[in-house]
Chain A
Amino acid sequence: MARGRPGLSPALLGLLPLAFLAVFFAWPVGAIVRLGMDAAALDVLADPGTWRIVAFTLGQAAAATLVAVVAGLPVAFLLARVALPGMAVVRALVLVPFVLPTVVVGLAFRGLLGGGVLPIVLANAFFNVAVVARTVGGLWAHLDRRAEDAARSLGASRWRTFTAVTLPALTPALGSAAAVVFLFCATSFGVVLLLGGARFRTLETEIYLRTVELLDLSGASALSLVQVTAVVAVLVLGARARRRREAALKLRARVESARRPVGGEWWVVGAAYAVVALLVVPIASLVARSVDGGFAGYRALSGTGHAGSLSVTGWEAAANSLRTATDATVLALILGVSAAVALVSLRRARFIDALDTALMLPLGVSAVTVGFGYLITLDALPGDLRTSAALVPLAQALVVTPLVIRLVLPVLRSIDERLRQAAATLGAGPWRVWREVDLPLAGRSLLAAAGFGYVVALGEFGATSFLARPDTATLPVVIGRLVSRPGELNSQMAYAACTLLMVVTVAVALVVERLRAGELGEF
């Protein structure tokens, strides 16, 4: 019988992600920042230009977050509440932007809209509509419609009901999603560089350029500190606001809450389809480019590019991608679920906001900083991880874990504590309660997180391109390399590889969709 020993509380699981975070994040980043901290670093802080960059970074991230939220909500509604044919495809499709290498998306937006602030904001939002749709949709699907019925019978129109009842209930998920999106956008690199040129600079591009082009470590360290501080401040504010809204909800099975839209809901469905259509525009332009000169690009996938631009073939890169993403996802699920369990069992603790924020930080620090940090620290671990192939999934897991946490936590936190207590009075120990109550209720969002995490790992570029060995290059790395070489074949192959990446993404999403129905029932 699986009875928990009294001493071993689920809260202890939190030590696992914390240890991981300490070794693979805090230590490397701390070391690199400390290395660069000297008198010159203060000059950077005193420079008003730095603060303009801070303002622009936060401003564009906030704007992109807003756009992603506004565009993502109707899609979340569509995914959560609407029973129409073809939902699985939409669910998979909105994930596609997430895997696309930022270079390629940047180029596509440049082609469609040119450069400037608006394209930066739109491109950043483009990547992240899925974060909002998935995170919010995951909770929305389980909300009991009768709370809304109650509001309607008190005279609230559909819209008022949404703003007064549904939205507050969704706030934890919305806050989670917004925090993640904000972090992605605040640390957005490729897109800003491509669409902003040298005119619109963010902390992330500045840190990158100082580190890589100017070899100015002290300036980069100072900016990294500023970045961490700004990110922490925004996260803590967000966590506060979110927690005020957290309340136990009556959760229901998704099949019961999804139905054919009625009345004004069709407008929302229309808006959602419009958003999906807009998402498809850049995607379609990429696919179109891949077949621009016939299928030469696809044929080239079995080779290594024009005159051996690559060390691996396209197909080998695809295999590498699938392999590392699998490792990263498994690791991230273990870490993310452990963290979520700990955060839920510690919900009354004082330091919970700090812990919550700490677990998000890897998304808020630039990949270069982490990558360089690895170089100067990880040789102290046995086996010199710096040159090991295992470092890539570890680094990807660093990015995927916070996402898993953010997707699963809102659902876990909305489970009525008394439901767990009911299980306990029926003889279930703390771990068993987990397996019997939390896991099934959050199962759907857990699977969504697994699929989502997998896609993120597939698409991860920053850390991967820094750490991958030539023979373990993944598809995004290969694409990045191909577009930075002249030659028509390279270009065609790059776009063919992009299309391959999208196909893999959709396939993974559809498989997860299937799994979900089979494994965990239809809750």
Chain B
Amino acid sequence: MSVPEVVMLATGVVGGAAALLVVTSRNVVHSALYLVVALLAVAGVFLVLGAEFVAWAQVLVYVGAVVVLLLFGLMLTRAPIGPTGQGNELGKAMPLAVALAVFAGLVALIVTSYGGEVIALEHVPPAALGEVLYVAWALPFMTLGFLLTLALIGAVVIARREEGEGPLPEPDPDEPEAAEASPPDSSSWPQRQPEPTPDEREVSA
């Protein structure tokens, strides 16, 4: 076994285990932290394969920005310490069966198609990547930039709080007793009541 193979196996095992923990962890924040490990392992695989620039881009974009954004979102919505009840239905047979079937199919396909294939590792300097990126791939690259700008604007538009859309509903001036009768629940973050679902509307009607 050569050095690259050992490194590849090690990163692969670590990354695979971390990925499994991402989807099985009962704590969402832990999931996000395991995702960091999995993505770093992916960067390691890139390094072994000789794609240095892609590896650092993976670290910069995924670990430095995407996971931080995910954690940020998690903490903004709800920052639970300890296991959370939401979305932790483990041991479902169906997803497990589907995932195993996908894995088995993919492995069978890989082994039959690329079983004997050997990669000749070569290091690609970032300069070479830059040359093809800005010459041969210039148009897709610019399109991508345009897409990113659109996504940025779209995200801002979606997440923006509209004028007058405060976290607390405006008290009705006609019914002062109602406002006094129901003091805000101090245990929960002040937020708008969820609208009744159509079923409830039908029942009340």
Our verdict on whether A and B bind, yes or no, reads no
Interfacial residues, chain A to chain B (CB-CB below 8 A): none
Interfacial residues, chain B to chain A (CB-CB below 8 A): none
